[in-house]
Structure 1
Amino acid sequence: MQLTGATALVTGGCSGLGHATAIALRDAGMKVALLDVNDEQGQTRVEELGKESTRFYQVDVRKEDDVTNAIASAVSELGDIRLVVNCAGIAPAKRLLDKEGQPADLDGFQKTIDINLVGSYNVCRLAAAQMAMQDAVNEEGERGVIINTASVAGYEGQIGQTAYAASKAGIIGLTLPMARDLAPLGIRVNTIAPGVMGTPMLLAMPDKVQDALSANVQFPKRLGFPAEFAKLVISTSENAYLNGETIRLDGGLRMPPK
């Protein structure tokens, strides 16, 4: 996929991995639509990235109307959508049973699944419908690329991560069948499964937690940089033969139980 001059849609695009991705895509010559729930932060990001190439749409990824309207507006204002990067998500931690033996609330589990898994699926299906209507960009018939964000927790969930790990395992499970569904339309689907990345969500954790997480990274022995995630988004987008794959980005990390 040729990135220069094309339009990308990034969910969770105002912070963390999504923000780093939006910067990298803008620097690669793309126009970027930021989809996020944080309106105030969204306006700030547009100022930072440049009004000529960036738009913000306040979106709850779980809501069909929010996503549909954002896609329509982005196409109208920026042009055909060629890349979708799903970074919106939450990462709560709660044991299945607490110290008193009380079960975790079901609402918390459902919310995590709804935002991380159902929300990603919702954006994918609606964006794919838009891509399918667009002309191919080359003789191979390529129309677009979708990149979802999973986590190494989808493979090695830690204690307290039942909801988060389940949501990210679902993203991994979506990858190949979604790629197969969309292959006849010239739309590729891949997933990135980051390890411990230096995002605001992780940096908000106590230092001892951060140190314990990075201690299990093989090399380089540190937290990952959001910019490294963004670099993989770009290379995955540009490599036309990469399809239906989940790529770990973790420095060789294999998560211990806690």
Structure 2
Amino acid sequence: MRIAETAAIVTGGASGLGGATAAALAKQGASVFALDLPSAVHNAPEVDGVSYVPTDVTDPEQVRAAVDIAATASVDTPLRIVVNCAGIGPSARILSRKGPHDLDLFRKVVEVNLIGTFNVVTVAAEAIAQTDPQDHGQRGVVINTASIAAFDGQIGQAAYAASKGGVIGLNLPAARDLASAGIRVLTIAPGIIDTPMLATVSEEFRATLAEGIPFPKRLGLPEEYAKLALSIIDQDYLNGEVIRLDGALRMAPR
């Protein structure tokens, strides 16, 4: 699928995986609408071709308003690309010295990571389905973000792993549901990527994380996620697949 002269939505687009993806899409000629929380948008860097839209992905009305902005910005740039990167990853054990896992925290993680993703997919797919079809009836592509924690969830990752496992479970039925509209759906499952989530850890701990990765022995880069997203968009026969981006890492229990 052609990236230039299209509109693209990237959630979590103010930094990390979303920020790198938004910049990469804009560099390829897309008009990018980066959705993120108001506080994140306020601190986001200026990037040519990227417009920031303050949005809480768990709020249906905010998402619909943001999608309308992207879909109607220009008749020359139809909405065809969605990359869902918005997510949170707090850690808590099901049972710890502090007591049982807080149910509201579990609910919040699922709400942001899974329900937020589904919310954006649903609203954006409706808009993409109204565009004129290209070759073989294709209209667009949706890329969601899971995690290798969905497969190898560690101690303290019950909520995060469950939410990302839900994103993986969503992948194939979403691809099948949206096939009739000419919309592909794929999911990237990143490993340990050097995002703002790791900004507060020590260099020693980062080195320990890198040493556990089979090859290459380093943390992944947001730009590598972005490159994979661009490749997925370009490969029209890719659909309904989950792709790990993890240097062959299989995480230990802790």
Q: Note whether the superposition's TM-score is higher than 0.5.
A: yes
Return structure 1 stretches of 4+ with deviation > 4 angstroms: none
State how 1:17-166 maps to structure 2 within 5 Å.
Answer: 17-39=17-39, 41-42=40-41, 45=44, 48-50=46-48, 53-78=49-74, 79-99=77-97, 102-136=99-133, 138-166=134-162
Deviation at 1:210, TM superposition (A): 2.4
Give TM-score scaled by structure 1 length: 0.94
Q: Does the CA-based 8 Å contact 2:8-2:70 persist in structure 1?
A: no
Q: Does the CA-based 8 Å contact 1:11-1:87 persist in structure 2?
A: yes
Give TM-score scaled by structure 2 length: 0.95
Which one-letter code corresponds to 1:87 in the other structure? C
Q: Does the CA-based 8 Å contact 2:23-2:50 persist in structure 1?
A: no
Distance 1:218 1:159 in 2: 21
Q: Deviations over 1:50-108 (max 9, x none)?
A: 2xx322211110111000001111222244211000000001011111125x1011000
Distance 2:88 2:16 in 1: 11
Percent identical residues: 49
Q: Does the CA-based 8 Å contact 1:22-1:32 persist in structure 2?
A: yes
Distance 1:178 1:209 in 2: 38
Question: What is the root-mean-square deviation of aligned Cα atoms in Å?
Answer: 1.3
State how 1:226-237 maps to structure 2 within 5 Å.
Answer: 226-237=222-233
Which one-letter code corresponds to 2:100 in the other structure? P
Which one-letter code corresponds to 1:91 in the other structure? G
Distance 1:172 1:5 in 2: 30
Which one-letter code corresponds to 1:130 in the other structure? A
State how 1:179-198 maps to structure 2 within 5 Å.
Answer: 179-198=175-194
Q: Does the CA-based 8 Å contact 1:218-1:251 persist in structure 2?
A: yes
Q: Does the CA-based 8 Å contact 2:82-2:143 persist in structure 1?
A: yes
Distance 1:235 1:43 in 2: 30
Matched residues, number: 252
